[in-house]
Amino acid sequence: MEELRTEETAARLCLEFLILAASRSAEAREARWSEIDFKAAIWTLPPERMKAGQSHRVPLPTRAIAILEIMQARRAGGDFVFPSAVKPSRPVSEYPLHKLLPSGVTLHGFRSSFRNFCAECASYPRELAEEALAHRVGNAVERAYRRTDLLEQRRQLMEAWAQYCTGSIAENVIPLSAGRR
């Protein structure tokens, strides 16, 4: 994360946002201003942009909001939060994000890291972690009765994740031992 912050390019900011939101690459790269609610600190992805075809609300941690404010100050029209440097009417492509990663690291791997953080470092319930990742869990009956997206609990989770990613670990987070990866 420190390395990402050495420059504030759209690609670097997009990658940091992707990590903090635990989102899929296309979801972050194609984020639109119309999906962002600054006041509520929520990013709402419409069903047509989601893998499961259902709307998904992402509570945004403080640093993610700061990233959006940086991008908003640069906004020169268009609805993409992270526009392409080459063609601003298009979203940033996946290629510049991949170029920022060390060999062997994948964009999707950050979602896996988030899931491991939930289970091993912070002991968040499985349902909360899976909801944060927009995974459909449980059978049809269970999903029919679950009528919440646990937004406020996920807000705490996402802030703890952001603190973990930036090195300012919250009190309720158990850090991994130095030799363990």
Q: Residue 89 contacts by C-beta under 8 Å, 6 or more apart in sequence? A: 78, 80, 83
d(CA 159, CA 5): 18
Selecting among 75, 90, 108, 143, the annotated active-site residue is 108
The DSSP element (H or E) to which 37 belongs, if any, is: strand 36-37
Candidates 111, 115, 154, 155; catalytic one: 111
Clarify whether 56 is annotated catalytic. no
Residue 145 bears catalytic tag: yes
What single-letter DSSP state applies at residue 120? I
Q: Which of 90, 135, 143, 146 is catalytic?
A: 135
Q: Which of 5, 51, 126, 143 is catalytic?
A: 51
Residue 98 designated active-site: no
The reply to whether 126 belongs to the active site is no
Q: Are 59 and 155 in contact (CB under 8 A)?
A: yes
Whether 51 is catalytic? yes
Catalytic residue among 24, 56, 115, 154, which? 24
Is 136 tagged catalytic?
Answer: no
Which of the residues are catalytic?
24, 51, 108, 111, 135, 145
